[in-house]
Chain A
Amino acid sequence: MNHSESPKQNENPGLLTHLGAVRWLILGFFVWCALLVLTDLIVHRHLTFAEGLLPIEGRFGFYAVYGFVAYVLIVWGSIFLRKALMRSEDYYDE
């Protein structure tokens, strides 16, 4: 397109190329997640559903586990789906 490769900005190595910085970021993120799930112990929670409809919703870490597991399932599902459905880029042009 109009603005193709320009070598001028090649000098910027970028913050995230430093492995140390990335490790600190990931460590900070793990701590943040741990704190988030621990808030379940101190925050009084109101259930989304009427009493008794979905009691598991009130259990410790339900949303955290659901989010984590859903993400992993999507990745696993996508690996299977890719095997079943992926074709070469010019499949429809053949």
Chain B
Amino acid sequence: MSEVHPALILLAGGLFLFCLPTTPRRIVSVCLPALGFLNLLTIADGTLWHITWGGYELTVMRADRLSMLFGYLFHLAAFIGAIYALHLKDRLQIGMGLIYAGSAVGAVFAGDLITLFIFWELLAITSVFLVWARGGERALRSGMRYLVMHIASGLLLLLGAVFYYLNTKSLAFDHIGLNEGHHYLIFFAFGIKCAFPLLHNWLIDAYPESTPVGTVFLSAFTTKAAVYALARGFAGEELLIYIGAIMTIFPIFYAAIENDMRRVLGYSMINQIGFMVAGIGIGGALGINGAVSHAFNDVLFKGLLFMSMGAVLFSTGRINASDLGGLYKSMPWTCACCIIGAASISAVPLFNAFISKSMVMQGVADSGAVAIWLVLLFASAGVLHHAGVKIPFFSFFAHDAGIRCREAPLNMRIAMTISAILCIVIGSYPPLLYNLLPHPVDYVPYTTTHVVLQLQLVFFAVLAFVVLISTSEIDIYLETQKKRGIVGILLLIGKHPPELPGVNLDFDWIYRRALPKSIRAIVRTGGPLVNAFFQNGKALVRKLVMGVQKRHDNRGLFGRSWLSQSNVLLAIIFLAIYLIYYF
């Protein structure tokens, strides 16, 4: 029986890392997640730790199958992240990275809304340092925008918790639902961290601005803690199905036109979270199992893709698709790991997303939501476009950009290899993950039908890519042969557009461009009006004061000394008027 809170080892250990010199810090940073994981194994399912604070009973630790799964996941992610960070000399990234991981662990073991709020805010405060770790004004500004959104999420959660307590006299974090208006406060607090549509820009904005190591840590914790919170508090809410469907669909178009590879992965992350959110909305054993197993797998394959792109950035100093290409010659190991990540996220059989995404899809099909299912299937083909093909192809193949660099450092390759092996092992042997899921699994992913249909979907999407990318050559070939024939029909499909540098407008345009511009315009045009108003006002007041002064000074009507005869005369006149009026 453990006496140590699961988050404590990472939180205290992360702080301790700041005091250590380089070599011991590297050793301890890898040992801490392993130690935390061993501590987690000693915690029995169903354990509850209560404390009383200010008259409120708080459950600082609640261990059940759902929280334990995320606990294992976060320790695994911290372990892989720590290996990936071993080459670093600076304390900030690894120290803050592990404290951040500890905050995520604390959040998933929180049994009440106040404890959750504390770890929720800690997640925001620690993670922003990973954005700022890159240095420079862009990272600083992006980090500030990130922090504002996440602090807002925390405040919404706190406000929601207060209303929840006033109505139920309980702070327990169990199923909340959407049957009361104030529950939406908590719902949207989770929604911000979960990157709901229109609340998603912090992710696209901040993650790609971080360092290679920082982005790997960032990709693992915040959004997955939010998926956990939704699964705990809002399972089976229909609204989530629609939100999830939108989340799967819109990022695939943005990812298609994005040039920064890590930003492509940011959009891809929203797309994958969409599947999880839809699964939570479906609810029931299949929906929740699908959602949380996909969250587990996403940390592995998305982490792997972020690690490979981080390695590319580290080795070449470039991350834009338009600047990359042909790197398989210089970075074959990273390329192989990236391809495994791409196959995993594309849900190719024997890779891990195949066994988790399919549960969500089956859950949606069982609920009879045909339109939503078709949207999710479309989005599955979309994953192929940006993550399955675009990331590996334009980085490691395509045209040779002439970059000749060293392969990524050994520690990075080890971390990528661990993730890649786990993607394949979990994908090939599903019980490894299925046995950890919150509900008993009554789903078989490896049926002939499922394997064949998924292969058709995946490979025909790739076929479309091959045709589109080849049409330029087909065009030239047909021109030289002076014949069109049946192959010429392929030209009607079009050509694959080249990768171009640029910024794509998203919803953050509202607060990054439109609002500041509007405020400036208002100040510019409204300023003279305001000035005129105040100047005229001042003149009016001055006139009034002078008038009063004039009538009350020594010679004024009310200020000068009147003769007593005049006063008597005035009194007689008033009395006479009064008498006449009375009669």
Contact = CB atoms under 8 A, between A and B. Distances in A.
B54 interface: no
B381 A9 contact: no
B460 A72 contact: no
A92 B503 contact: yes
A49 B368 CA distance: 7
B54 to A, nearest CB: 44
A20 interface: no
Contacts of B368: 49-50, 53
A22 B403 CA distance: 21
Given A5-B405, A10-B404, A71-B384, A66 B457 contact: yes
A43 B494 contact: no
B253 A37 contact: no
Interface residues of A, number: 61
A17 to B, nearest CB: 7
Contacts of B462: 29
Given A63-B457, A70-B461, A74-B252, A5 B404 contact: yes
Contact of A75 (B377, B385, B405, B452): B385
A21 interface: no
A75 B468 contact: yes
Contacts of A72: 464, 468, 493-494
Interface string A78-94: 11011001111111110
A1 B409 CA distance: 13
Contact of B257 (A32, A78, A90, A93): A78
A1 B211 CA distance: 11
B466 to A, nearest CB: 6
B397 A16 contact: yes
- Among A8, A46, A72: residue with most chain B CB under 10 A: A72
Given A9-B330, A63-B453, A64-B456, A4 B503 contact: no
Interface string A41-67: 001111011100110000001011111
Interface in B294-333: 313-317, 326, 328-330
A76 interface: yes
- Among A4, A8, A32, A92: residue with most chain B CB under 10 A: A92
Interface in B470-506: 470, 493-494, 496-497, 500-506
A93 B329 CA distance: 36
B447 A75 contact: no
Interface residues of B, number: 68
B256 A78 contact: yes
Given A68-B463, A87-B502, A14 B329 contact: yes
Given A43-B448, A53-B370, A92-B503, A3 B405 contact: yes
A70 B502 contact: no
Contact of B460 (A10, A13, A45, A68): A68
Contact of B382 (A8, A33, A70, A88): A70
Given A70-B382, A78-B497, A92-B503, A86 B461 contact: no
A34 to B, nearest CB: 10
A14 B328 contact: yes
- Among B384, B404, B496: residue with most chain A CB under 10 A: B404
Given A33-B459, A46-B449, A77 B404 contact: no
A88 B452 CA distance: 44
Contact of B314 (A3, A29, A46): A3
A1 B449 CA distance: 48
Given A74-B256, A78-B253, A78-B257, A68 B314 contact: no
A3 B381 contact: no
Contacts of A78: 253, 256-257, 497
Contact of A3 (B397, B406, B503): B406
A43 B502 contact: no
A66 B381 contact: yes
A82 B500 contact: yes
Contacts of A6: 404-406
A86 B500 contact: yes
B381 A29 contact: no
Interface string B208-235: 0000000000000000000000000000
A-B pairs, top 8 by smallest CB distance, nearest first, are: A70-B381, A78-B256, A71-B464, A67-B460, A67-B457, A67-B461, A64-B460, A63-B456
Interface of B: 138, 252-254, 256-257, 313-317, 326, 328-330, 361-362, 365-366, 368, 370, 373, 377-378, 381-382, 384-385, 397, 400, 403-406, 409, 447-449, 452-466, 468, 470, 493-494, 496-497, 500-506, 512-513
